[in-house]
């Protein structure tokens, strides 16, 4: 029964490898430099937690537009740490929870982490965990407050904890006066040029031939997509692109034309 999901949480100590890998379903495609930079900075924070006596608690925020790859990158950094306790917290595990149950769940995961000498907690999609909606705006303030406190709370002596949070709504956190809860933050950009789009599509072999690819790219260019990133012009999450690509792949008249139509109908260019 979904209301008792709380009790079926993972073993208090350990890593749920499978769950973490699932969120990186389509791998990490290196379509731009920032992908590498984010992974490298992530590693630095992992080392700070592992080594510094003064800062047993480090809290990091990954933010960027919807579908830009925040969850996949946070999970990748977490798995790379090889800490004995790694846990992913997301709204998916809390559907139907009351506010109190959510707070209890968060508290339990953090308390569990304190039993391990080295831990990573991924708090994925803060805006969803808070049930934020811009109308109002409304959100679960009790959950927000618990989260701010837990992001702040020193683990017991001898324990160290890295917290990787993700959000597609950094402004929401600013409005909530909650940005101070993070020691640092990293921006995860969306695709912003035809070159990056092309890099991704090649990676998933959308086109059956070089010619088809060339034709599609020409069409996109004609439709206004810029070869290189230009300020304020294109912002397309890698997850969205992968989705459209798969739909177009079904078209019997070939994916190219449908891709152009779809991207344009979705409001890109």
Ligand X SMILES: Nc1ncnc2c1ncn2[C@@H]1O[C@H](COP(=O)(O)OP(=O)(O)OP(=O)(O)O)[C@@H](O)[C@H]1O
Binders of its own copies among residues 60 to 79 (CB under 8 A) are: 66-67
Q: Answer yes or no: are the C-beta atoms of 64 and 168 closer than 8 Å.
A: yes
With a CB cutoff of 8 Å and minimum separation 6, the contacts of 218 are: none
Sheet holding 184-187, edge to edge: 85-90, 118-124, 160-167, 57-63, 184-187
114 vs 226 by CB, closer to its own copies: 114
Q: Answer yes or no: are the C-beta atoms of 260 and 216 closer than 8 Å.
A: yes
The tokens for 168 are 């597609």
76 counts as binding Mg ion under rule CB under 5 A: no
Tell me how far, at minimum, the Cβ of 234 lies from its own copies, in Å.
Answer: 16
Tell me how far, at minimum, the Cβ of 182 lies from Mg ion, in Å.
Answer: 16
Helix axes 210-222, 255-265, angle to 10 degrees: 30
Question: What SS3 state is found at 145?
Answer: helix
21 vs 218 by CB, closer to its own copies: 21
165 counts as binding Mg ion under rule CB under 5 A: no
Indicate the DSSP class of residue 239. H
26 counts as binding ligand X under rule CB under 6 A: yes
Which of 46, 56, 61, 68: binder of ligand X (CB under 6 A)?
A: 68
Total number of residues binding its own copies (CB under 8 A)? 68
Which of 24, 39, 79, 148: binder of its own copies (CB under 8 A)?
A: 148
37 counts as binding its own copies under rule CB under 8 A: no
Residue 27 contact among ligand X, its own copies, Mg ion, none, beta carbon within 5 to 8 Å by kind: ligand X
Which of 14, 30, 36, 55: binder of its own copies (CB under 8 A)?
A: 55
Task: Show the CA angle centred on residue 128, arms to residues 197 and 47, nearest 5°.
Answer: 70
Positions that interact with ligand X (CB under 6 A): 24-29, 31, 35, 66-73, 125, 168, 238-239, 242
């Amino acid at each position: 029964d979904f209301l008792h999901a709380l009790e079926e949480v993972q073993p208090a100590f350990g890593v749920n490898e499978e769950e973490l890998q699932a969120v990186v379903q389509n791998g990490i495609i290196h379509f731009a430099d920032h992908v590498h930079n984010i992974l490298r900075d992530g590693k630095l924070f992992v080392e700070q937690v592992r080594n510094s006596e003064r800062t047993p608690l480090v809290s990091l925020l990954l933010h960027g537009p919807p579908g830009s790859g925040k969850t996949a990158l946070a999970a990748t950094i977490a798995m790379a740490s090889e800490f004995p306790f790694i846990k992913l917290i997301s709204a998916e595990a809390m559907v139907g929870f009351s506010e109190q149950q959510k707070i209890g769940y968060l508290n339990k995961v953090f308390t569990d982490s304190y039993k391990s000498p080295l831990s990573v907690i991924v708090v994925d999609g803060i805006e969803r965990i808070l049930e934020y909606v811009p109308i109002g705006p409304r959100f679960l303030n009790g959950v927000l407050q618990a989260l701010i406190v837990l992001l702040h709370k020193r683990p017991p002596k001898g324990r160290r904890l890295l917290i990787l949070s993700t959000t597609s709504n950094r402004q929401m956190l600013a409005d909530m006066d909650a940005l101070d809860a993070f020691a640092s933050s990293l921006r995860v950009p969306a695709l912003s040029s035809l070159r990056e789009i092309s890099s991704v599509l090649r990676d998933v072999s959308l086109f059956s031939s070089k010619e088809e690819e060339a034709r599609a790219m020409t069409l996109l260019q004609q439709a206004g997509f810029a070869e290189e990133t230009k300020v304020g012009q294109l912002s397309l999450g890698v997850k969205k692109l992968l989705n459209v690509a798969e739909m177009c792949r079904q078209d019997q008249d070939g994916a190219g034309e449908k891709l152009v139509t779809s991207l344009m109908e979705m409001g890109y260019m």
